[in-house]
Amino acid sequence: MRILSLALKRLAASLPTLVFILIGMFLLLKLAPGDTVDALLAQMGGADAKVAADLRSFYGLDMSVAAQLGNYLWRLVRFDLGFSAIYGKPVSTVIIERLPATLLLMVSALSFAFFFGLVLGVLAARRVNRWPDTLISTVGLIFYATPSFWFGLMAIVVFSVYLQWLPAGGFEDITLGHAGIARTLDIARHLILPTLTLGLIFLAIYLRIMRASMLEVLNLDFVRTARSKGLDETRIVTRHVLRNALLPMVTLIGLQAGTMLGGSVVVESVFSLPGLGRLAYESVVQRDLNTLLGIVFVSALLVIIINFLVDLVYARLDPRIAGGG
Amino acid sequence: MSLLRAYCRSPSAVVGLVLLLIVVAMAASAGWLFPRDPLALAGRPLVWPGDNPRFSFGTDNSGRDIAAQIFHGARISLLIGVVATSIAIVIGVVIGAISGYYGGWVDTVLMRVTEAFQTLPNFLLLLVLVAVFGSNLMTVTIAIGVVSWPAPARLTRAEFLSFRNREFVQACRTLGMKDRQIIFREILPNALPPVIVYASVVMAVAILLESALAFLRLSDPNVASWGNLIGLGRDVLRIQWYVSAIPGLAILLTVLAVSLVGQGLNDALNPRLKGR
């Protein structure tokens, strides 16, 4: 219970941050050339000044910036993100349609990066400065330096074009008309390359942090005690070291949540996945600022929620945090 | 001199330095080896590397020399990397220094702002900035700098927190020095080394950010950027994959070089961490 109240306190502290982001973004987008009405008129093929003025008063765009900002924030409280002129639907509908693909991609990329980062980090730390460590660390450095979109393109060339093992893009093959398990498997097949592409750079980061953290913990007194008790090395690592070494890894999930969302913009464009990131890209290209603002809001919310969950996990891993207050 | 010797003890750091020097040499010799506009038509489109001795790396979809674009692209990547990193470090150091030195409500407010920037996915913020201010070389570079300052700010703040009550700072206060002098003349030189090392991370990320933006065709289309070339190559990916492959390798090696040099500097400056 203490853990929960502590995490909730942290959550409440992030509310001002969210409001600050929204105000900043709103004012920033006011600077952008062209508003919703301009985008609408461009879609309609132009209209006279009277229609434009009517539309502006309809969307409340003729009011002062402060009044518009107040309106906007009040609508957000009721989770009304406005209307997307390009998609012809409320922004919240557009975003909710696109959210599952992004969440699925993020969760799978995170699991991939976390699991393999952990395993490789432990392996490297146990053979520190010998060839397995050198090999793993070098591969990690190369992964870190690889532009994700480029890795995605090269993976398409190898696995889709030459080997023809995996699809080159898309979320699922609708023409097959799968349902149930077959559909799940089809989606999983489509997500393999995007997951690898998005996860690669995070794998490199997790691996490096895990290695350093393992080396740090392995030098602590309680590990020496465990060794002198005559425990074998595997048991020491799994029972004593791992739990302590995991703390920085868990922190990193929260810190990297935003980066991962940003990375999904590029990965979703490479593999033409119908996700939030691709929506962000499309709304920049189509000047659909309402949708863009909505995506910013939802992304910030998502990052805050992920950090809330990370706090909970963190407190479970390290009882001192909940105890110390 | 001893720093150089400490640096050269690590083979990976030397590899990084050599790679970085090669990229710098490419950027420096671009105008001399490829005096023509790298974006001008040079020959038949989609010539494979090696097919025509005039184009060692082949030509792209519209018949522009890929080698020329790689060499001139080195200039753009390094330029954006260095300028954006300087912007990020300057903003970060000023905010972090003020925040860490004064503490109290100033610290609270500035850290809230930093948090806001960290909560927002930085690539998304970059998209918004490009959507609002347009995408020419200058705005893109500034935008990348503006989204990259929070991490250096936090680092600088942590350093300042550890220095603000040291004896030499108290001595400065007793001498009646102005806050500005204490912050920038006395504390900053002590706090700077880890920030400078961290700049290599910022620079690596800045180069990657620009290439991703260019790949999405949201960066400046009128300069020879590696990301632009990868984006172009995407249209002919199935057969002429080399158009995308070559500039990607260039990005990879440049980012690798910057990271390795940063790591080497870090190890040379912190001998305590040797063997990690």
Question: Which pLDDT score is estimated for B153?
Answer: 93
Q: Is B245 on the interface with A (CB under 8 A)?
A: yes
Cα distances (angstroms) measured from residue B41 to each of A320, B33, B57:
66, 16, 15
Among the listed residues B52, B62, B56, the one whose alpha carbon sits nearest the alpha carbon of residue B228: B62
Residues A26/B203/A266/B129 CA torsion (nearest 10 deg): 20
Amino acid in position A317: L
In this structure, what token pair is assigned to residue B181? 């002098």
For chain B, the straight-line distance linking the first and the last C-alpha, in angstroms and rounded, comes to 23
- Chain A residues within 8 A of B255 when measuring between CB atoms: 144-147
**pLDDT tens for each residue of A94-149:** 898 889 889 999 999 999 999 999 999 888 888 877 888 888 888 888 998 899 99
Instruction: Tell me how close the Cα of A231 comes to any Cα of chain B, in angstroms.
Output: 25
Instruction: Tell me how close the Cα of B186 comes to any Cα of chain A, in angstroms.
Output: 32
Instruction: Tell me how close the Cα of B140 comes to any Cα of chain A, in angstroms.
Output: 14
Is the CB of A263 less than 8 angstroms away from the CB of B245? no
pLDDT class of B273 with cuts at 50, 70, 90: low
From the candidates A137, A259, A284, A299, which should be mutated to test the interface with B, based on the most B CB atoms within 10 A? A284
- Reported residue count of chain A is 325
Q: Is A24 on the interface with B (CB under 8 A)?
A: yes
Question: Which pLDDT score is estimated for B8?
Answer: 80
Is B272 a residue whose pLDDT tops 70?
no
Q: Are B168 and B109 spatial neighbours (Cβ–Cβ below 8 Å)? A: no
Range B108-115 contact pairs with CB under 8 angstroms and sequence separation of 24 or more: B110/B153, B111/B157, B112/A16, B112/A17, B112/A20, B113/A20, B114/B150, B114/B153, B114/B154, B115/A14, B115/A17
Contacts across the A-B interface (CB distance below 8 Å): 147
* A 145-174 → B contacts, CB under 8 A: 145-150, 153-154, 156-157, 161
Question: Which pLDDT score is estimated for B98?
Answer: 92
Among the listed residues A257, A276, A256, the one whose alpha carbon sits nearest the alpha carbon of residue A266: A276
Is the CB of A147 less than 8 angstroms away from the CB of B124? no
**pLDDT tens for each residue of B167-187:** 888 888 888 888 888 888 888
DSSP labels for A55-117? HHHHTTTTS-HHHHHHHHHHHHHTT---EETTTTEEHHHHHHHHHHHHHHHHHHHHHHHHHHH
Is B257 a residue whose pLDDT tops 90?
yes
| A219: three-class secondary structure by DSSP | coil
pLDDT class of B52 with cuts at 50, 70, 90: confident
Q: Which residues pair with B3 in a beta bridge?
A: none
**pLDDT tens for each residue of A93-109:** 889 888 988 999 999 99
Q: What is the arithmetic mean of pLDDT over A257-272?
A: 88
- Give B48's DSSP letter: P
Is the CB of A142 less than 8 angstroms away from the CB of B252? yes
Q: Is B24 on the interface with A (CB under 8 A)?
A: no
Amino acid in position B186: E
Mean pLDDT for chain A overall: 82
- Chain B residues within 8 A of A24 when measuring between CB atoms: 116
Look-up of token digits 């690898």: A196
Q: Is A272 on the interface with B (CB under 8 A)?
A: no
Is the CB of B252 less than 8 angstroms away from the CB of A153? no
Question: Which pLDDT score is estimated for A33?
Answer: 67
Instruction: Tell me how close the Cα of A88 comes to any Cα of chain B, in angstroms.
Output: 21
Question: Which pLDDT score is estimated for B135?
Answer: 83
Question: Which pLDDT score is estimated for A307?
Answer: 86
Is B276 a residue whose pLDDT tops 50?
no
pLDDT class of A203 with cuts at 50, 70, 90: very high
- Give A171's DSSP letter: S
Q: Are B108 and B53 spatial neighbours (Cβ–Cβ below 8 Å)? A: no
Is the CB of B119 less than 8 angstroms away from the CB of A259? no
Q: Are B76 and B69 spatial neighbours (Cβ–Cβ below 8 Å)? A: no
* B 250-269 → A contacts, CB under 8 A: 251-253, 255-256, 259-260
Among the partner residues A128, A154, A299, nearest to B245 by beta-carbon distance: A154
Question: Which pLDDT score is estimated for B232?
Answer: 85
Q: Which residues contact B35 (CB under 8 A, 6 or more apart)?
A: none
* Nearest chain B residue (CA) to A304: B119
Q: What is the arithmetic mean of pLDDT over B239-252?
A: 88
Higher pLDDT pick, A188 / A37? A188
What are the backbone dihedrals phi and psi of residue A219, each rounded to the nearest 5 degrees, phi first? -90, 0
* Nearest chain B residue (CA) to A139: B256
Mean pLDDT for chain B overall: 86
pLDDT class of B275 with cuts at 50, 70, 90: very low
Among the partner residues B124, B131, B276, nearest to A265 by beta-carbon distance: B124
| B122: three-class secondary structure by DSSP | helix
- Triad B85, B89, B91: Cα angle to 5°: 120
Question: Which pLDDT score is estimated for A60?
Answer: 67
Give dist(CA B204, CA B251) in Å, integer: 10
Helices H / strands E in chain A, number of each: 15, 2
Is the CB of A28 less than 8 angstroms away from the CB of B276? no
What are the backbone dihedrals phi and psi of residue B60, each rounded to the nearest 5 degrees, phi first? -90, -170
Q: Which residues contact A300 (CB under 8 A, 6 or more apart)?
A: A17, A18, A21, A22, B119, B120
Is A323 a residue whose pLDDT tops 60?
no
**Percentage of residues in chain B with pLDDT exceeding 70?**
96
Is the CB of A28 less than 8 angstroms away from the CB of B128? yes
Question: Which pLDDT score is estimated for B243?
Answer: 83
Residue B170 CB burial class (10 angstroms; 0-12, 13-18, ≥19): exposed
Q: Are B130 and B140 spatial neighbours (Cβ–Cβ below 8 Å)? A: yes
**pLDDT tens for each residue of B8-39:** 878 888 888 999 999 999 888 887 877 877 77
Instruction: Tell me how close the Cα of A184 comes to any Cα of chain B, in angstroms.
Output: 28
**pLDDT tens for each residue of A210-245:** 888 888 888 888 888 888 888 887 888 887 888 888
**pLDDT tens for each residue of A2-56:** 777 877 887 887 888 888 888 888 888 777 766 667 766 776 676 777 777 777 7
Q: Looking at domain B2-273, which CATH architecture does it have? A: Orthogonal Bundle (1.10)
Give dist(CA B124, CA B216) in Å, integer: 13
Question: Which pLDDT score is estimated for B83?
Answer: 95
Q: Is A303 on the interface with B (CB under 8 A)?
A: yes
Look-up of token digits 């992304």: A299
Domain ranges of chain B: 2-273
Give dist(CA A164, CA A186) in Å, integer: 15
Q: Is A262 on the interface with B (CB under 8 A)?
A: yes
Look-up of token digits 């920037």: B117
**pLDDT tens for each residue of B110-168:** 988 898 888 888 888 898 888 888 888 899 999 999 999 999 999 999 888 888 888 88
